[in-house]
Structures are given as structure tokens and as C-alpha cells.
Copies of this chain bind each other. A is one copy, B any other.
Amino acid sequence: MRATILHGPGDIRLEEVPDPQLSGGHDAIVRVLVACVCGSDLWHYRGLTGLSDARRIGHEFVGIVESVGDEVRAVSPGDVVIAPFYYCDGTCVNCRNGVSTSCLNGGWWGADDRHGVFADCGQGERVRVPLADGTLAVVPGPVTDDELPGLLTLSDVMGTGHHAAVSAGVSDGDTVVVVGDGAVGLCAIIAARRLGATTVIAMSRHEARQELAREFGATQVIAGRGDAGVAAVHELTGVGADRVLECVGTKESMDQALRSARPGGMVGYVGVPNGGPELPVRPMFNRNVGVRGGVAPVRGYIEELLPDVRSRRIRPDLVFDLDLPLADVADAYDAMDERRAIKALLRP
């Protein structure tokens, strides 16, 4: 089959790789219907994570089950399934606590599983899915082609935006600031409105993204960043926002998020902290600003969000502004790297 391989900074290619095989009773083989490029894939593409070797890439996909192992009960050949950006058993104590990203038996696409067998990545034609019962969410059929982009957002970006909002404790009547206008930030706007926020202030300086932010329910857009951005938030809110959703992951964006929160407010954060900014505890302490979030346990959110996606009550599919055949994967990375695209969908 064909799959995407990152050879080095800026060097991404679609190549022939071995077809995945069922290796254990809990596996499924999934044929990918749609995949996409994540903002976090760009960290590797840009060489910021110290890539040492050529590697498979891609962790978001929706597909159709081709075969399953003997122990699989919840998933059958022919099912359309959503895969989260990790795999998990769904039964360990961390999964039961709602933190399936810390599954005791789970792992990440593109690495060997605990039995030493490679788990394929999403930007390819097929994937061996370990722990299929815990990992895959079945979409009750029939599923139409035009539903696929929306379903695909439940692999990562919509669930991750939702996690930011849940972590910050967004509820009815809240004033919310969203830092970051990538696909996750935009989905966080959807999530905040869906959870009852009445004022949602989007921080964005890109016209197309500002427009989408408004379409997703942002009531105000602020183009300024840093001190200017914080000042504008305080001008709009008085003492700061009840909740701030940090969807970037840099020291600057976290600093802006913390300073945008009101005393007693919460920052929900999902931006992967690349470069590892430390949190300044003293100002957090003085103002009682809390911080909660992390690697979003999106598997647990799929059932809650799925009906709203299928009914089009929410439209996270609109984050895809580029739709390419998998063969053009290099163009997809290029477009996202240059911010010409918010998020690129790939069709094998």
C-alpha cells in the first residue's frame, strides 16, 4: 500500500510500504477513507522536533473496517469508524477516569505497540489498529461521503477544542477568550458556544480565519497579540475573561492566556507546549487563575459530539479549506506550513 513518509525537514513523500496485517486478536485493519494534516505534524515537518530518521506520519483518520481479530467485539468489517489520534483499551483505570490518552495499554500511531508490532499512521491507505474495541468509534450507517470531513474532525481537532473548553469549565453565560486561530482554536470556539458561553472573543489576525471564527460563533475578534491583545481583552471584559482556551502551545500564547483570565478564571490548554514554557506560579496564585488541560482524551468525546456533527448543528468540517488526493500530500504540508490552508484533508 502507499503511505506518507517524512524523510527530513520539508521532505515528505508518498511511498510503497508493506500492507498491514492483523497481528493479535484485538486488532482491526482499517482502510482509510479520509485523513488530514495536523498542526502538530508541522512541528516535525519543520524539523523542530529533532527528527532522526525517516518516519511515517499522520494520526487522524476515518475509515472502513476490512478485517478484525478474534477478540474484537464492538467493531465489524464494513463499519465506518473514527480513530482518535492514539489508541487505547477503553477499560483501564485511566480510560475509566476519562483520560484515555494516559491508557495503561495504549500508544501512538507510527510507533511499535507494546507487543513490538508497528501501528501504522493515518496518512496512508490502510492502518493496523491495536485495541480496536477501545480505540474505534463506530458511526452508525448509512454514512454519506459528505459527512466524512465532519467525522474526521472528531479524530482530533473538534475533540481537542472541546477538551480545552471542558478543562476550562466553560458553562452557561461565560465570557471566553480563545487564543489561537488554527483548526483547534476554531473548533474551541464551536465548543465554547456549544457549552453555553455567551461571549466568545477570538484572537486572530488572519482575515479568512476571523471570518470562520465569526461563523463558528465568536462574538468579537481581536487582532492584537501580547500586551496589546491582553489590553484589548481587558477593555472588552473589564477584569478579564471567565475562561481562556489556549490552543497554540508557545510561551507567549500561554502568557497571553494567563493574563487574559479574570481573577478566579480558568485557562484550558491544549496547545502542545513545544519548547516547554514553564507556568509563572506567583501571578497565577495572586489572581487565583487556574490551568487545566493537556493531551485531549478525544476518544471519550466522540459519542457526545457525534450527533451534533451529523445533524450539522455544529460545522467543524469547515476547518478543511483544502481537499487533496493523498498523492498530493506534499502540497498539503506546503500549504499548511505557509498558512495558505487552515487544514488539509487527504483522500487515499
Chain A residues with a Cβ under 8 A of chain B: 93-94, 97-99, 101-102, 104, 167, 238-239, 254, 262-264, 266, 269, 272-273, 276-282, 284-295, 297
Chain A interface helix/strand/loop/mixed? mixed
Closest 3 CB pairs of A and B: A290-B292, A102-B263, A288-B294
Residue of chain B at shortest CB distance from A289: B294
Q: When chains A and B are docked, how far (Å) is the Cα of A273 from the Cα of B281?
A: 7
Set B97, B272, B290: member contacting A291, Cβ < 8 A = B290
Contacts of A279 in B (CB 8 A): 278-279, 281, 284, 291
Known: A94-B264, A167-B288. 9 other contacts (CB 8 A): A97-B239, A99-B288, A254-B281, A278-B278, A278-B280, A279-B284, A285-B295, A288-B297, A290-B292
Q: Which residue of B lies closest to A237 (CB)?
A: B93
A288 CA to B300 CA in the complex, in Å? Answer: 14
Shortest beta-carbon distance from A144 to chain B in Å:
35
B287 & A102 in contact (Cβ 8 Å cutoff):
yes
Q: Is the CB of A264 within 8 A of B98?
A: yes
Q: Min CB distance, A276 to chain B, in Å?
A: 5
Can you list 26 A-B pairs with a CB-CB distance of less than 8 A? A94-B239, A94-B264, A97-B239, A97-B262, A97-B263, A99-B262, A99-B263, A99-B264, A102-B263, A104-B239, A273-B281, A276-B280, A276-B281, A276-B282, A278-B279, A279-B279, A279-B291, A284-B291, A285-B294, A286-B294, A288-B297, A290-B290, A290-B292, A290-B293, A291-B291, A292-B292
Give the residues in chain B near A276, CB-CB below 8 Å.
Answer: 280-282
> By the criterion CB–CB under 8 Å, are B239 and A93 in contact?
yes
* Residues of the B chain whose Cβ atoms lie less than 8 Å from the Cβ of A238: 93
Chain B residue with minimal CB distance to A251? B281
